[in-house]
């Protein structure tokens, strides 16, 4: 299976429509099975089309562009909070073919969608070789944040995964640098999660953010590996590659993406 995660920074980017079209062309070429997206936004005042989704919803426009390329992906989108006063920001996940179920809910201390630190996840479940596998798109908070801590979000999420007792992959922006010890990344690993990057047969630097971006102004200013694909059971990872970093496809967001091939 080919998995990819990207914080798409939607509607904060210049030439956003052109970047959506470019992303669709890369998906057409790579044929990812699962695509987890974060910062998937729409304007508050746009016209509704499907449930809570509006006509300028990033993942909706991406799926429509994929259809124009004769590539059909289904998707789930979950609204998590208001961003920059004018956007309804959420997370989403694109998938091919039939699924067993899809789901999304809040994690952490708050469910107030007017608070920009409120978090949700999106999940789809697929049957592969008689096994149900859960795929989560995650956009987590920061380490020891007093208003909605990363630790609380992780514990809520892992409680849900434990109740389901399936193989799973957590994909997304974890807002904790894997290169900083005794903080959020180590917290994840100490809870039994496996970093597909670390067990990959072939990998690059893994860096997904260069320097300072929004939300990191008073934090780590170094290059960071904060976009991860984690799992709960050992598997063969053929390769882990950073994408949309200019080396492997053009930059389309303030984050680079991560792609893994898993047996």
Q: What residues contact 11, with CB distance under 8 A and at least 6 apart?
A: 41, 42, 43, 56, 58, 87
Q: How far is Cα 45 from Cα 117, in angstroms, rounded to an integer?
A: 21
Domains of the chain with bracketed CATH = 2-262 (3.60.10.10)
User: What is the pTM assigned to this prediction?
Assistant: 0.96
- DSSP for 106-126, written as a single string: EESS---TTSTT-EEEEEEEE
**What is the pLDDT, as a whole number, of residue 212?**
73
Chain centroid to CA 134: how far?
14
| Calculated CA dihedral for residues 82, 88, 89, 93, nearest 10 degrees | 150
**What is the pLDDT, as a whole number, of residue 6?**
98
Taking only the tens of pLDDT, the chain with its 263 residues reads: 999 999 999 999 999 999 999 999 999 999 999 999 999 999 999 999 988 999 999 999 999 999 999 999 999 999 999 999 999 999 999 999 889 999 999 999 999 999 999 999 999 999 988 999 999 999 999 999 999 999 999 999 999 999 999 999 999 999 999 999 999 999 999 999 999 999 999 999 999 998 777 776 667 778 999 999 999 999 999 999 999 999 999 999 999 999 999 99
**What is the pLDDT, as a whole number, of residue 213?**
76
**What is the pLDDT, as a whole number, of residue 19?**
98
**What is the pLDDT, as a whole number, of residue 214?**
73
Q: What angle do CA 22, 204, 208 make, to 5 degrees?
A: 55
> Shortest CA distance to 27 belongs to which of 108, 96, 126?
96
């Amino acid at each position: 299976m080919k998995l990819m995660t990207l914080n798409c920074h939607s509607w904060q980017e210049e030439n956003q429509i052109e970047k959506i079209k470019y992303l669709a062309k890369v998906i057409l070429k790579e044929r990812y099975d699962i695509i987890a997206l974060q910062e998937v936004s729409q304007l508050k005042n746009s016209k509704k089309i499907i449930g809570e989704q509006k006509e300028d919803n990033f993942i909706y426009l991406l799926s429509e562009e994929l259809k124009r390329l004769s590539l059909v992906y289904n998707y789930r989108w979950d609204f998590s909070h208001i961003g920059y006063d004018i956007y309804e920001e959420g997370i989403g996940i694109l998938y091919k073919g039939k699924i067993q179920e899809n789901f999304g809910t809040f994690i952490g201390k708050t469910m107030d969608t007017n608070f920009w630190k409120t978090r949700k996840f999106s999940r789809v479940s697929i049957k592969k070789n008689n096994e149900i596998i859960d795929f989560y798109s995650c956009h987590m908070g920061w380490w020891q944040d007093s208003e909605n801590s990363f630790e609380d979000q992780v514990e809520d999420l892992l409680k849900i995964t434990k109740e389901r007792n399936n193989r799973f992959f957590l994909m997304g922006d974890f807002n904790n640098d894997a290169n900083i010890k005794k903080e959020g990344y180590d917290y994840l690993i100490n809870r039994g999660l496996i970093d597909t990057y670390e067990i990959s047969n072939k990998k690059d630097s893994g860096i997904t953010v260069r320097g300072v971006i929004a939300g990191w102004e008073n934090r780590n200013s170094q290059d960071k590996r904060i976009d991860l694909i984690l799992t709960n059971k050992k598997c063969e990872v053929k390769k882990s590659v950073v994408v949309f970093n200019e080396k492997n496809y053009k930059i389309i967001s303030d984050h680079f993406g991560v792609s893994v091939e898993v047996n």
